[in-house]
Structure formats: C-alpha cells, structure tokens
Amino acid sequence: MIQYLFLALLFVGIYGLLSSKNLIKMLISLNLLELGLNLFIISIGYVKGGNAPIITLESVSNYVDPLPQALVLTAIVIGFGTTALGLAFIRKVYFEKGSIEIDEIRGGSDD
C-alpha cells in the first residue's frame, strides 16, 4: 500500500521535469523522481518477518532478497554523481548565459 505513495513521488518528479523551465527546479525534480523510484524498489523487495540471507546453523525459510538493496545503493551513488554533475553544468550555464531559465538561455521567441 505504501508503494502508491512512492509512485506518487515518482510522478511528481516526472511532472516537475516536464513542466519546469528552471534548471535548478528540473534537477530537484530529477532527484524526487530518483527518490521515489529507489523507495519503490526497496518497498517491493521487503518481506515482512524476513531474515537476512546469511547461512547459519538454524534453518530459516523466509529470506529477504538482497538484490533490490544492492541496486538502490548503486543508484544512490549514481544519483549523487548525476546531481553533482548537473549542478556543475548549471553553474557553467549561469556564468556563460547569465540565467538558468531555459527560455532565456535559448534566446526566447519575441513574436
């Protein structure tokens, strides 16, 4: 049930990416999308009452799948790198063009 909340967060990120003209807002929307996706993947991999998949002398049949956790950990690192690179690009664009609005960077159409 909580997966719907995470999907809503993902869709808010997509909406922000599609509707925003500000580069900083677009980067924040990308981070929201990533956060929603990561939380959704973690929630899908959760098993209530599950144990860590470690071999012990006791026999346990209800294990938690470690793959989603590993994927999300990798996605967090990649997301951090993407955010840092995006901020560096936005800074470069601001110093060269004097704005972070997409319409002003393109030159805008003065019809």
Range of the domain at 6: 1-47+64-104
The CATH number of whichever domain residue 43 belongs to comes to 1.10.287.3510
pLDDT tens across 46-94, in order? 878 877 777 777 777 778 888 888 999 999 999 999 999 999 999 999 9
Q: Give the burial class of 26: count Cβ atoms within 10 A of its Cβ; 0-12 exposed, 13-18 middle, 19 or more buried.
A: buried
Against a cut of 0.75, is the pTM above it?
Answer: yes
Does residue 52 sit within a domain?
Answer: no
pLDDT tens across 69-78, in order? 899 999 999 9
Does residue 35 sit within a domain?
Answer: yes
